[in-house]
Amino acid sequence: MRHTPARLSATLIIASVLLLLVLRSLPTSPEPGPEFITVEGGAFMAGNFQVPMRAPDGELTVQWVAQPDQAALAPYPVEVNAFAIMKKEASNTLYDRFLKQTKRPARWQPVKGDGDQAANMPYDEAEAFCIWLGQDNSLDMRLPTEAEWEYAARSRGQPIPWATDNGQWQSGRNLPDQGNDTDKARTGTFPPNPLGIQDMANGLHEWVISDPARDPVHVRIFKGGSDQQASPRDTIPTRGVVFPLSAATINAKPELARLRDHKVGTVYFQNATARCVAPLKSNGPSPVSTTPNTILPPAFDDVTDKPTVKKASG
């Protein structure tokens, strides 16, 4: 039997449709999720602390890491159980997937190619994002407590002012150069801290769970540095205290239009993102090792305008 061109064309079309149906019926591989870093539990003094600082002229002084106007908590002892924490801040790619799957309004004015940038999200969505991410990975996930965040940023409680690879603030090497916006584009651009965690001193601020014994119930807390107004004043103990936005503020800003259906008094928005944690089962916290940490310098370079407390001995 001779096949005409028309009959061959129809046969090819039918075969293509059948192949497409078969391919669609095959199970798809899950989209890649974020990488996690395991943090061993331990005990440490959270809140503000003192370190030796070296001035540009070489003079050594002992200074508080956070200044009085930065809302840092006074030093307090705390035990932290083991947990896994996201290596990088939540990206726009992950955030968009969350918004789509949970049927929430899309983010305001997404830019092509911004998927690797940190996702700016309100507090309530950061909470929901972590729950969703946990369900997606069969884990019990949430935002970190403030103590957990500081413990991870300080590489298990070491006296480190900034969550960088060496604890120092070195603009252009381990943090964004203030004159170069290209440094601020992607998550994971700069070296991680000794635990392998990135972006805790740059990117966006990060939401944490506040302690009701230390903060009023109507405020929310963020931690960490931000590329939008990067400053060496943003040390690890520094914290931002955020109050709920008024209806007038939400209605006046186009970027907040997607949040206008939220109940008044429940919207917290501050150029902050999510970095989720998953508590790990363990036999309880272990004490921080007394072995000297080789990354700690004898003194940190003073690049802030913190007041001097007292001179270091020796």
Q: What is the pLDDT along the chain (314 residues), one digit of tens a residue?
A: 555 555 545 554 554 455 445 445 444 445 678 999 999 999 999 999 999 988 888 889 999 999 888 999 999 999 999 999 999 999 999 999 999 999 999 998 888 889 999 999 999 999 999 999 999 888 899 999 999 999 999 999 999 999 999 999 988 888 887 655 555 568 988 999 999 999 999 999 999 999 989 999 999 999 998 887 667 888 999 999 999 999 999 999 999 999 999 998 999 998 999 999 999 986 444 444 333 344 566 677 877 654 444 444 43
Tell me if the pTM is above 0.85. Answer: no
Cα torsion through 105, 110, 112, 115, rounded to 10: -80
Phi, psi (degrees; rounded to nearest 5) at 83: -155, 160
Cα torsion through 194, 299, 159, 241, rounded to 10: -100
Computed over its alpha carbons, how large is the radius of gyration of the chain? 24
Q: Is there a contact between 54 and 300 (Cβ–Cβ < 8 Å)?
A: yes
- The domains located in the chain, with CATH, are 30-297+300-304 (3.90.1580.10)
Regarding beta strands 220-223 and 310-311, do their DSSP bridges make them parallel or antiparallel, or are they unpaired? unpaired
Regarding beta strands 50-54 and 300-301, do their DSSP bridges make them parallel or antiparallel, or are they unpaired? parallel
Regarding beta strands 205-208 and 83-86, do their DSSP bridges make them parallel or antiparallel, or are they unpaired? unpaired
Phi, psi (degrees; rounded to nearest 5) at 175: -145, 160
